[in-house]
Amino acid sequence: MNVRETRVATLIAHLLILVSTFYLIPYPLQLIPTSVLHGLFLYMALTSLSGNEMFERLLLLITEQLSPPVESELKARDAKGRALTLPDGDIPLKVVND
């Protein structure tokens, strides 16, 4: 069976996007106040910054360095990590024993 690449579907999809951009979107947007749109875009920008690695690295330049972790915190982290990995390591043993 031969597969032919057709670009007709892609062309139609892009034409529909073009039509919706120029004919459908501007009219409802005129009914919404500009301050509401600015607030929406500002909210979207601020909420997307939390997962942005570049923003987090830039934030490190202006924030104070934290004190190094206390030894008890390190032990707690190691114990928690071991608790999570021990059950995973036990699974192959159960499969072999069955």
Listed by start position, the domains of the chain span 8-63+71-97
Q: Give residue 94's identity as a one-letter amino acid code.
A: K
- Its pTM stands at 0.39
Query: What is the chain's length?
Result: 98
What's the token pair of residue 84? 């999570």
What local confidence, expressed as pLDDT, does residue 9 receive? 84
Q: Burial of 8 by CB count in 10 Å (0-12 exposed, 13-18 middle, 19+ buried)?
A: exposed
Mean pLDDT for the stretch of residues 33-53: 89
Mean pLDDT for the stretch of residues 45-49: 88
What does the alpha-carbon distance between residue 11 and residue 17 come to, in Å, rounded to a whole number?
10
- Residue 42 binned pLDDT confidence (cut-offs 50, 70, 90): very high
* Residue 69 dihedral angles phi and psi, to the nearest 5°: -65, 145
Q: Give residue 34's identity as a one-letter amino acid code.
A: T
Burial string for 15-43 (b: 16+ CB within 10 Å, else e) reads: eeeeeeeeeeeeeeeeeeeeeeeeeeeee
